[in-house]
Amino acid sequence: LLPSFLWQTDWDLRLACLLLYAFDKEDNFWQLYGDFLPSADECPNLLLASEEELSELQDPNLASTMREQQRRALEFWEKNWHSGVPLKIKRLARDSERFIWALSMAQTRCIGMQMRIGALVQDANMLIPYADMLNHSFEPNCFFHWRFKDRMLEVMINAGKRIKKGDEMTVNYMRGQQNDMLMQRYGFSSPVNPWDVIPFSGNARIHLDSFLSVFNISGLHGEYYHNSMRHLNSLCGLFCLDL
């Protein structure tokens, strides 16, 4: 359990180190959990993307962000896994690929929760084995709830609505985040993301689906969902919005 502040802080780096340490301990629960985690080839996190794959992204800003994240991870590994570190530390991540994989697991498997202890409210990122295998939905039917029990933190999955037999259980991975963050972490974006907006001049903001539905083009190719004025101008010419 580590404090979470901003994306630029090191909570994910420290969580990756703890995950590697847990995998190194013999006969423990985390080793069994590790058998279910995806390999580097299977994980959709863009942190594991090659330069060729990043160059194919339609969003150059996203590609640049991921290159910075990759450099950040590599610099952290080089700083803490140099030749002079004890063997018990070195064996946790003998190469940078192992550490970057653990970092991608920390980013894609963590669950953000808000904890209240007395008057203190703290945002936190947690690794909750097996609960992290629920799929994402912007209209989830489940949510996470925590409590202290016997001096331990217990996390439960509660139903937010009636779930019929055979229905899939879903949770919301990241509330209040636009598609670029979902793409960074999980390798997908959604045209129905209620938090994705198109920037206009001034203070005007409009949801992407609402904009596309006005021109009856919501079913067109994904390139038209790019969040830039250049693409919008190519779609509808000069567009004026008075709010």
Residue 22's CB is within 10 A of a number of other CB atoms, namely: 16
Per the listing, tokens 């001034």 go with 202
Pairing of strands 120-127, 152-159: unpaired
Pairing of strands 197-199, 120-127: unpaired
Q: How far apart are CA 174 and CA 128, in angstroms?
A: 15
Two structure tokens written together for 175: 């509330």
Beta carbons of 190 and 182 less than 8 angstroms apart: yes
Beta carbons of 127 and 109 less than 8 angstroms apart: yes
Q: Which CATH architecture has domain 11-186?
A: Alpha-Beta Complex (3.90)
- Given a cut of 80, whether residue 151 has pLDDT beyond it is no
Per-residue pLDDT at 118: 73
CA 233 to chain centre: 31
Q: Give the CA dihedral 75, 45, 109, 21, nearest 10 degrees.
A: -30
The reported pTM is: 0.74
Helices 96-109 & 11-24 angle (0-180, nearest 10): 110
- Interval 11-65: pLDDT, tens: 899 899 999 999 988 888 888 888 889 999 999 999 999 999 999 988 899 999 9
Residue 137's CB is within 10 A of a number of other CB atoms, namely: 16
Q: What is the DSSP string of 85-133?
A: S-HHHHTT-SSHHHHHHHHHHHHHHEEEEEEEETTEEEEEEEE-TTGGG
Per-residue pLDDT at 90: 87
Beta carbons of 108 and 181 less than 8 angstroms apart: no
Residue, of 208 and 132, whose pLDDT is higher:
132
Domain ranges for the chain: 11-186
- Interval 70-96: pLDDT, tens: 999 999 999 988 878 888 888 899 899
- Given a cut of 90, whether residue 231 has pLDDT beyond it is no
Per the listing, tokens 């947690």 go with 126
Residue, of 40 and 115, whose pLDDT is higher:
40
- Given a cut of 80, whether residue 115 has pLDDT beyond it is no
Three-class DSSP category at 142: strand
Per the listing, tokens 């409210």 go with 121
Mean pLDDT of all residues belonging to the chain: 79
User: What is the arithmetic mean of pLDDT over 204-222?
Assistant: 51
User: What is the arithmetic mean of pLDDT over 87-112?
Assistant: 91
Q: In the chain, pLDDT over 90 holds for what percent of residues?
A: 34
